[in-house]
Amino acid sequence: MNEIGNNLKRVRLLKSLSLKDAGLLLNMSATAVSKYEKGLIIPDSKKIIEFANAYNVKTIELLKTYDVVKMNFTSFRKKKRLTGQKLELLKELILNEVTKYLEVIDMNNISNNNIKLKKYNCNSFNDAEMAAVEFRNYIKISNKQPISDLINTLENLGIVIIQIKNYDNLFDDFDGLSEIVNGIPIIVLLDGIKDGARQRFTIAHELGHLILNIAKSLDEEKICHRFASALLMPKEAVINEFGTVRSNMRFFELVAFKNEFKVSIAAICYRLKDLNIISEYLYKKLSIIISKKIGKNDPSPIEPEKSYQFKRLVYKLESSDIISLNKACELLGVTVNEYNNENYNY
C-alpha cells in the first residue's frame, strides 16, 4: 500500500499544483515529487514536515491511513464538465470520508441491524407523491407542517450524512451522491453550501434514490425530484397555504412559504405548477419576476443545516478511552490544541 504517497498526491491536487509547481515549492524536481507520490521513494519524518510546510497543511493530513471501502458511485449526480482529475480526486475524498465514518460507527458498536429504511415501489409520478406522504407518516411528521431539521431527522433513522469540503470551489459541479455501503445508507453533499434551501432539496432528492424502487421505464432523476418536492412541500400543506386554483400570486406569499418550509421560491413555483394550482402561463410570469427580484443568488438564503454526528461520535470514543487523543485528531483532521480548545469554547 502507498498511503502516504496517495496523501501527497491528493493534497497537491487539492492545492491545484502541478508536479513542476510542487517541485519549485520543495526545491526538488518534478520527477522526484512524482516518485514520492508513487511510493518509489519513502519520505522520512523530516521530509514529511517539508511537504506539509510547502503545501500549508498539517502533517497528520499526510500520515493518515485507512482501509478504504468499496463504492459503486451509481447514484452520483454531477454536471458533465466535472471530469478527469477533479472527478477522480472527488471520488477519492468521498471514499476516505465514508471509510472514516464507517470506522467510527463500527467502534461505537452501532449495528446496521438497527437501520430500518422502508422501501417504496414507484411506477409513476403519483407513486413518488404517495411515497413522500407515507415517508412523512413513517417519521411521524404531519403533511401540513415543515420538516424543520432534515439532517437530524434522517440521522436519527441511521442515515449517514457526509459533507465534503469544497476546496477552492473545485467541486462546484458536484450535486450529490447516495449509496448503501456495508449496509449503511449514505448521503454525500458539499459542505459550505450557502443556500440551505438548495442543500435540503439535494438531501431529499438523494433520499429518494435510497428508498424508492423506481421502474426502469421512468427517468430516475425526475422521479427523485418529484419525491423531494413532495417531501419538503407536501400537497396538503401547499393547498392549505395557497388554495386549489390561483390566477395570481403575490411575491410575499411565496417568501412567507419559503421561510416556513425552508425551500427556494423557484421550487415553490414549480411545485404549484406540478399540482395544477397555477397555470403554465402564471408559472412563466412568476419565473420572470423571481429572476428580476432574486437572480441566481437569493439575497436572503435559508440557513444551511449542519451535521454534528460524526464529531460527536469521535469525541465519545476519545472521552471513553476507546481511541487515543491522537487518533481522534486524525479522524477530525485537527491538531491537539484545536481539539482541546473546541471542548472549552462553549
Residue 201: domain span:
75-293
Regarding whether 84 and 59 lie in a shared domain, the answer is no
CB within 8 Å of 78: residues ≥ 6 apart:
87, 173, 174, 175
Regarding whether 135 and 42 lie in a shared domain, the answer is no
What is the value of pTM for the model shown? 0.85
**DSSP one-letter code for 16:** T
Regarding whether 97 and 45 lie in a shared domain, the answer is no
Regarding whether 119 and 252 lie in a shared domain, the answer is yes
pLDDT in tens, 7-32: 888 888 878 788 999 999 999 999 99
pLDDT in tens, 101-113: 998 998 888 777 6
Give the angle subtended at the CA of 174 by the CAs of 170 and 177, to the nearest 5°: 135
The number of domains in the chain is: 3
Regarding whether 59 and 161 lie in a shared domain, the answer is no
**DSSP one-letter code for 341:** H
Domain membership of residue 299 (yes or no) is no
pLDDT at 1: 54
Regarding whether 91 and 55 lie in a shared domain, the answer is no
pLDDT tops 80 at residue 345 = no
Regarding whether 115 and 23 lie in a shared domain, the answer is no
Regarding whether 256 and 236 lie in a shared domain, the answer is yes
**Which run of H or of E encompasses 124?**
none
Regarding whether 210 and 264 lie in a shared domain, the answer is yes
pLDDT in tens, 277-335: 999 999 999 999 888 888 777 778 899 999 999 999 999 999 888 888 988 888 888 88
CA separation for the pair 19, 283 (Å, rounded): 51
pLDDT at 114: 66
CA separation for the pair 278, 15 (Å, rounded): 48
Domain membership of residue 303 (yes or no) is no
Domain membership of residue 300 (yes or no) is no
Q: Would the CA dihedral through 174, 175, 179, 185 be positive or negative?
A: positive
pLDDT in tens, 213-259: 999 999 999 999 999 999 999 999 999 999 999 999 998 999 999 99
DSSP, collapsed to helix, strand or coil, labels residue 7 as helix
Domain membership of residue 302 (yes or no) is no
pLDDT at 344: 53
Domain membership of residue 298 (yes or no) is no
CA separation for the pair 335, 346 (Å, rounded): 18
